[in-house]
Structure 1
């Protein structure tokens, strides 16, 4: 296994990202995370990024939620951000990412978690929450879901999947900017490119779109169906806040609200002029919703 580690100088002076670096070992790999707010807080807010981003995506939310008195943990998934990157594509699987994330939560012994998830942050976070429900107190989701392959994927997703597998050089920052209603400035695009000095560092980003279950016999389908059995009995508070201009996940909030009991009575929001990367388009607004959601559902 070839492990790549992005040089630290690639992350110097990134706009809006003043956070200190923290690391923990998972499966022999170094996993990075942001840890802001009071460490002694009884409430932990776990912010999970997706494809092809890293914890930089949550830079607008972290200070607001931390200022609310909560401990905010924002990891970089293995293969992304400041975390180690494995060069061989066959190392990455849906199950392996679940195991890495579970090991991360166990290593920090995170409890009473409010899960904040978007994109693959939800595909992983919802699975991990279902499988470790005793550690989670609440969930808020935006532009995500938990596919089992039993429903056909959208045409928009299939186009993205094909693009990701065929383009010779995967333009990370360009992809993120393209998923936003408000196009990103050059220095922010560069910050999304920072973890990837060349194509050899992008294996995880390249593989992720192939790991989304698109058929009933997908390797992850059975485990995701099992997770849904737990989520369909989930009574803990669950809030959706989807962007109204994301073609990839359009309607996913209605599915979550229909199937998950914990969504009932919550102040679900559609974020106007919010694209796929809602953290960029509506980060401050979503952060305020998260603080209100926790405050209204303290037990």
Structure 2
């Protein structure tokens, strides 16, 4: 597997992004080493709030949520999926599969020894993040899902079909413009440039290109069986499970009802609707941070935390 790495200078001086990079090596099944980037801000003795981005963004999407959480005394961790941000980028489109993404992020999660996690996941951050919850349910204390799903061979829609066709056929994938179009507010030129930063040219975008085609929306897609198995775990997940979808996302509108109906932990919490487009972190970061702060504060102290305070 050939791997590209975005030059560090592409990330210098980005608007509202003062965070120091941290890197974790993971290994593909073929032996290839991949470097996954994340930021880890706030007190390390606090339970981790894990912020997982989707397509075609990177951890920058959560910059204002990170800042707000740390002001509240919380610990915020935001990784870049492989193929995005400062994480390594396999060069061939065929190197990216749904199951490889799950395996890479599972390796990252275990290597960073994260436990007692409060997860916030949006878009592909949910498709991958919920698979992590299913694989390691004991590591997660609570989950918040936003504008995402866990499809099992159904879910085709006109809006998604349009996005799929565009992503696979446009000569140049305009990352910054896509983030702007998927947000309710108008992003600044500097913000759009920050979303373009990880991709010096089209060769770095193979992961971003393939993601829409990997969503298992037909029975013939790969990962349908694996997602069905994950749902079987989620249907026993009785810890707090909050839906926080936005009010203006045509692709995932109504998707919260599936989680509310099927996940036990969703039946004992209050749900919310956020204002914004698909990239709701751009439109309602303060509301997201307040929700996560209150949720983290409502959870019992974990046994490991209790031992540390004795």
Query: Counterparts of 1:284 and 1:120 in 2: how far apart (Å)?
Result: 22
Q: 1:165 aligns with which of 140, 163, 168?
A: 168
- Aligned match of 1:181: 184
Deviation per residue, 1:63-116 (Å, 9 max, x gap): 222233332110011110001111111110000000000000011010011111
Query: Counterparts of 1:29 and 1:120 in 2: how far apart (Å)?
Result: 19
Deviation at 1:134, TM superposition (A): 1.1
Deviation at 1:265, TM superposition (A): 2.8
Query: Counterparts of 1:152 and 1:198 in 2: how far apart (Å)?
Result: 32
Alignment of 1:80-229 (within 5 A): 80-149=84-153, 151-229=154-232
Query: Counterparts of 1:180 and 1:47 in 2: how far apart (Å)?
Result: 18
- Aligned match of 1:3: 3
Alignment of 1:251-290 (within 5 A): 251-272=254-275, 274-290=276-292
Query: Counterparts of 1:231 and 1:161 in 2: how far apart (Å)?
Result: 28
Deviation per residue, 1:25-75 (Å, 9 max, x gap): 01111111001011122x111110000000000000012222333321100
Please say which of residues 68-77 and 86-95 is displaced more in the overlay. 68-77
Figure out how many residues of one structure are paired with residues of the other and give that number.
Answer: 296
Deviation at 1:172, TM superposition (A): 0.4
- Aligned match of 2:79: 75
* RMSD, matched Cα: 1.0
Q: 2:44 aligns with which of 39, 60, 66?
A: 39
SS in 1 for 2:83: coil
TM-score w.r.t. the length of structure 1 is 0.97
TM-score w.r.t. the length of structure 2 is 0.93
Deviation per residue, 1:109-150 (Å, 9 max, x gap): 10011111000000000011111111111100110110111x
Query: Counterparts of 1:298 and 1:7 in 2: how far apart (Å)?
Result: 42
Q: 1:29 aligns with which of 23, 34, 43?
A: 34
Structure 2 residue runs of 5 or longer lacking an equivalent are 28-32, 302-310
SS in 2 for 1:53: coil
- Aligned match of 2:306: none
- List structure 1 segments (4+ residues) > 6 angstroms apart after TM superposition: none
- Aligned match of 2:19: 19
Structure 1 residue runs of 5 or longer lacking an equivalent are none
Query: Counterparts of 1:270 and 1:298 in 2: how far apart (Å)?
Result: 25
SS in 2 for 1:157: helix
Query: Counterparts of 2:120 and 2:202 in 1: how far apart (Å)?
Result: 29
Query: Counterparts of 1:236 and 1:66 in 2: how far apart (Å)?
Result: 24
Deviation at 1:243, TM superposition (A): 0.5
- Aligned match of 2:307: none
Deviation at 1:267, TM superposition (A): 1.9
SS in 2 for 1:137: strand
